[in-house]
Amino acid sequence: MDSTEIIRMARRGALSVVVAGAWLAFAVPAQAASTPALVVDAASGKVLLADRATEPWFPASVTKLMTTYVALDLVRQGRFSMNSLLTLSPEAAAEPPSKMGFKPGTQLTLDNALKIIMVKSANDITHMIAENLGGSVDGYAGLMNAASRRLGMHESRWVNPHGLPDERQQTSARDMAILARALLREFPDQEDLFHIGALKLGTKIIRNHNGLLGRYPGADGMKTGFICMGGFNVVATATQNGRRLIAVVFGYPSAKERDLRAADLFDQGFSSFGWGGQQVEALPPSSQLEPVNMRSVVCGPNRRTPQEDDETARVASAPSGGNSDNPFGQLFAAATMSGTGAGIPNMGRRTTLGPRATFEPIPIWLGASPGAVPDDGDKVAAAPSTIPAKRVRTRLVGKPVPGAAGTGTLASTAATDAPRIDTVKTTARPGGRAALSANLDAEPAAETKPKLGSVARGAAGRAKHGAIQLKPTIPIVAEDEAPAKPPARAPAFFAFPSVSAAKTAAARPKPAKVEE
């Protein structure tokens, strides 16, 4: 083979590489449009279905499964009990929603706190658990990372216990399946935490965000999550014919689409047996090193930011022209969601879910035991307690006693003339607490105060009402004697004292001279 033929073959090879590269450039966005999904047999750990299962992802509130694992592990070690009383700090109370909204100082048992974060996904209560059990949020995050390494969760990095947005916090579908298996195997007595349909605090009913409970046959847990960076996530379990599966779905644009995808994965998983499938721990690592940010797809401009249980369909269309920095927009095109998109992994048939079921709510309470701290029903989040009754100075208030004119003293002729004020009871109000406290702690007012008109009548009395003059002492004109009207003003060179003014001046005694 001469050199010319070699050059010709090399050129044909280079052309083939270019063509292949162009095809890949067109095909990769479609292939990359799928989001992580995984189905695992809970008993054996065998993988039934997997798609990008080890790719890092923003976990959102499924983080609370790891928070719960660490808390239960500390109880198992004897360092705490499920009845340990936790106190809400001002920092915990300031966390953004979803939250319970209790005021700082509120106390809950660990058992009730875990129920709240599994059902309500309350960030303030999750923060409270971390502070009370780990000493601080950072300290608790360290316990979470240590537990992850012990369980073999290779892609998980934790910096907070609730899953609020932080680019450093990540996990993978494979890691969350490993964690779900550990919770079920290591803490079977606490399994009820993960399939509570509703809670009852006073008269307030708190519904679980998990839209599979009561709607998919056999669904019995675990936890949902949502942030704009990661989309709608769920780690779910379901049992049929004595066989339990774990499904993990990440990155959907609404709770409805996420739940439909999880239901369809369960259908496919229960129809297969996974004989010969590899263990979930043995799934190969992903070449993707950083989580993909879904914000532009899920919470982009001109879109309302959804909530964790938002079932509004939010299907985005594929970008025009095929060029997009975020290929995930193609995932939610109509063709993709119906399972007919070319090059897209089969999304499956869209399972129909019925209406949400009605659950018998599980009672929870504030304080160490039921009734220890009274709640206010639906107002428990806004005003969980009242200001204790405080003893105040007893005083009778009535009309002025006849004959005591000019003293201004308030008194009562009989005890029945006015009610006795013994205590003050009021609910906490944002603008009233400081004023109430100042009023209760203030010294009593003086019993005698000069009143307007009580010293003298006329111009002299009005000018200095309320003033107390010690000296010199000036006699007061009798009340039945009208004061003389001042004379009209005259020019200075014609100014003569009037007769009436002279008589008045002569009749009025002169004040004694005061020695200085």
pLDDT (tens digit, 9 = 90+) per residue, 447-458?
445 455 444 444
Q: So what's the pLDDT on residue 307?
A: 61
H/E stretch holding 7: helix 3-32
Q: Mean per-residue pLDDT for 373-391?
A: 48
Is 485's pLDDT higher than 80?
A: no
Query: Smallest Cα–Cα separation from 161: which of 187, 182, 132?
Result: 132
Residue 307 region, left (φ>0) first, then alpha (ψ -120 to 50), else beta? beta
Q: Which range (51-65, 67-81, 213-227, 485-499) has the least confidence?
A: 485-499
H/E stretch holding 226: strand 219-227
Domain boundaries, the chain: 36-317+324-364, 387-426
Is 466's pLDDT higher than 60?
A: no
Residues comprising the chain, all counted: 516
Q: So what's the pLDDT on residue 17?
A: 38
The structure tokens listed for 56 are 């890092």
Query: Smallest Cα–Cα separation from 283: which of 176, 394, 209?
Result: 176
In the chain, what percentage of residues exceed pLDDT 90?
A: 50
pLDDT (tens digit, 9 = 90+) per residue, 7-18?
455 445 444 433
Q: Which CATH superfamily is domain 36-317+324-364 in?
A: DD-peptidase/beta-lactamase superfamily (3.40.710.10)
Is 489's pLDDT higher than 90?
A: no
Q: So what's the pLDDT on residue 277?
A: 80
Q: So what's the pLDDT on residue 371?
A: 83
Q: Over the chain, what is the mean pLDDT?
A: 74
Q: So what's the pLDDT on residue 140?
A: 98
Q: So what's the pLDDT on residue 335?
A: 35
Q: Mean per-residue pLDDT for 60-65?
A: 98
Is 90's pLDDT higher than 90?
A: yes
Distance, in Å, from the CA atom of 60 to the CA atom of 170, rounded to the nearest integer, reads 9
Q: What is the DSSP string of 83-145?
A: T-EEE--HHHHTPPSS---PPTT-EEEHHHHHHHHHHT--HHHHHHHHHHHHSSHHHHHHHHH
Q: Mean per-residue pLDDT for 363-388?
A: 65
Q: So what's the pLDDT on residue 322?
A: 38
| Confidence (pTM) | 0.64
